[in-house]
Structure 1
Amino acid sequence: MVVPFPAGSATDAIARVIAAPLSQALGQPVIVENKAGADGAIAATDVARANPDGHTLLLATNSPMAAIPSMRKTPPYDAINDFAPISLAGYYSFYLMVHPSVPAKTLKELIDYAKINPGKLNYATGNSTGIMSTLQLMWLAGIKMTHVPYKGEPQAVTDVLNGQIQVMFATWTTTAGHIKDGRIRPIATSLKQRTIYLPDVPTMTEAGLSQFNVLSWAALFAPAKTPIEIVERLNRELVAAAKRPDIREHFAKIAVEPATSTPDELGAFVKDQIDVWKKTMAAASVAPE
């Protein structure tokens, strides 16, 4: 199982959680191999070119499967046709956060403040999901903020904490302690439902932005032309594993909402996600590079 991010990452943690029950069910070891780099494109390219025998899988995220196809003029693979979708694995808990100095405790208050003060708020991004989430927020809300990009989420969160940055979409895992300390304020989650970690924090839809639809997710894929019986077997085993209380408990510890799908549902979902990213980029006048 190839993971497009380094050991210790949230995606790596998901892979290791599901590898164990898959190993048990399949009667052979499922080894997690990390191939980080290029926003997941290196790992995805390797799997796309692998022998379609079911022995090489990709635990991909929206980065290689939606960001790369949308943000690059010439992607190194076709996210739709070069892979056999197996099942969703889960959604990452992402939140819209603000520094306590921002006079906004709700999404509406943040939008109103940003409209009165165009360009005054700085927003940080440490990954492609953060970039796309904020672009869509600004497009749908009709606001302007100043982009400050970072190489990773931890560095970006540090500057939110010290007040250099006022706004950021960030994960629970990098902000949990700071939220409890009151050093950063969550005002909405980008998930479709409220999370168990912050049940009082509304979704973007509940907060008034019903068209917001950028999601951060992980899913399992095989190379295209993998025999359907192998795909269906892997789907059955992953769906069964996701129902186990011990697996759901592990997911909760890494702030991931478990989710599964049929192969066809995942294929349609990926197409929809690419469409979401491309439309958001076009609306924000951002051209592929």
Structure 2
Amino acid sequence: MRTIAATITTAASLLFLTVPASHAQASAYPNKPIRIIVAYAAGQGTDVATRLLGEQLSRELGQPIVVENKAGAGGILGTELAAQAAGDGYTLTMGTNATHVLNQFLYAKMPFDPEKDFEPIAMVGTFPMVLATGASTPYRTVGDVLDTVKRTPGSADIAMPSTSARLVVEFLKDRSGAPLFGIPYKGSGSAMTDVLGGQLSVTIDTPLALRPHLAAGKLRALGVTSAIASPLVPGVKPVAEQGYAGFEFVAWNALYAPKGTPAEITRVLNAAVNKVLAKPDVRQRLLDLGFEPAGGSAAYLGVFARKERERWAPIIKTAGIRAD
């Protein structure tokens, strides 16, 4: 009869054999080019930031990084492709708050589970949305707009060039009780034209989209949606500091791997991303591109994204926001 001691000895021997193999896999990684799928068009903010990160990661990891654009369906197409890839560390994706949080509540059907089908690697960058108004309006704060709308509904309609902008409007309505009315646009260009032309008095957009108009004095920033002031829009108070404590919305980019990617490999990637994001020149370049450099552990990213889903699901449901 086989004794317990013999069984333990055999198991220990097998563990001794398998552990080095696992470490060997990590130590050999990477030994060929790595692909990062971007679920958006070339030249868009996520794409540009990914190419910067890829260039820097290539130097750290000693292998080429190939960025592949697979745009479509609000980021679902490219993210689905990444979810179907082998979990070997050679296909990654640059996720966003849309692909890995919001889309599952905006679309009736999703071909992947943003939590169960991916391994988090690291947060790369974040940015707030900005409430801005035309330079000729009397508004100086977010409260000015909300008070005006409460007194005269429809007097300060808001241009919404993105789903993120719409969520900010709904969140503001929820927190302030103001009867805000948002006008949806397909992009920043057309929304900006109407606000600059005086057809609408307020817009909500990214710091990067608003930056040239703020610098030229054509628009005035009223507030940022991050919990604290953002270096992307210096001198502008958060909405949370203007009488709406707890108000926060940030968009973000983060690196993910397909489910099943070994922990040893995700640790190698996390360390490399954090090393890159610690470089002063990379941090400045990301700020120039409209992102606040992030970083942190894979566990942090996983918990953060989960809390974001719990937070935005009821708001999207209550507002009846749909993307399809």
With the length of structure 2 as denominator, give the TM-score of the two structures: 0.85
Contact persistence 2:240–2:248 (CA under 8 A): no
Describe how 1:1-289 pairs up with structure 2 within 5 A.
1-286=36-321
Deviation at 1:232, TM superposition (A): 0.8
Matched letter for residue 56 of structure 1: T
Equivalent pair of 1:213/1:276 in contact (CA under 8 Å): no
Deviation at 1:130, TM superposition (A): 1.0
CA RMSD of aligned residues (A): 1.6
**Partner secondary structure for residue 130 of structure 1:** helix
SS at the partner of 1:57? strand
Partner Cα separation in structure 1 for residue 80 and residue 320 of structure 2: 28
Residue 32 of structure 2 corresponds to none
Cα deviation digits, residues 180-229 of structure 1 (max 9, x gap): 22221111111232222432101121122223222111000011111111
How far is the alpha carbon of 1:285 from its aligned partner? 4.7
Give deviations 1:230-250, integer Å, cap 9, x for gaps: 111100000110000111121
Once the two structures are overlaid, the 10-residue window that deviates more, 118-127 or 40-49, is 118-127
Q: Deviations over 1:18-38 (max 9, x none)?
A: 111211111110111111121
Question: 2:322 & 2:96 partners in 1: Cα distance?
Answer: 22
SS at 1:31's partner residue?
strand
- Sort the Cα spacing of 1:2 and 1:159 in 2 relative to 1 into closer, same or farther, 3 A: same
TM-score under structure 1 length normalisation: 0.95
- Where 1:80 maps in the other structure, the secondary structure is coil
Q: Do the aligned partners of 1:67 and 1:128 also contact (CA within 8 Å) in 2?
A: no
Query: For the Cα contact (< 8 Å) 2:129–2:249, is it kept in 1?
Result: no
Distance apart, 1:283 and its partner CA: 4.0
Contact 2:148 2:155 in 1 (8 A): no
Distance across 2 between alignment mates of 1:239 and 1:46: 26
Shift of 1:145: 2.5
In structure 2, do the counterparts of structure 1 residues 68 and 254 end up closer, same or farther at CA, with 3 Å as the change threshold?
A: same
Distance of 1:214 and 1:76 partners within structure 2: 26
* Closer/same/farther in 2, CA of residues 166 and 76 from structure 1, 3 Å limit: farther
Structure number with larger C-alpha Rg: 2
Residue type at the aligned position of 1:77: F
Deviation at 1:93, TM superposition (A): 4.2
Identify the residue that residue 29 of structure 2 maps to in structure 1.
Answer: none
Relative contact order: is structure 1 or structure 2 higher (C-alpha 8 Å, sep ≥ 6)?
1
Tell me the distance in 2 between the aligned counterparts of 1:159 and 1:128: 18
Residue 217 of structure 1 aligns to a residue in which SS? strand
Partner of 2:15: none
For the 8 Å contact 1:214–1:276, the answer to whether it is kept is no
Q: Which runs of 5+ in 1 are unaligned?
A: none
> Partners in 2 of 1:150 and 1:255 — Cα distance?
21
Gaps of 5+ in 2: 1-35
**Structure 1 residues 101 and 276 mapped into 2: Cα distance closer, same or farther (>3 Å)?**
farther
Matched residues, number: 289
Mapped to 2, the partners of 1:264 and 1:63 lie a distance apart of 20
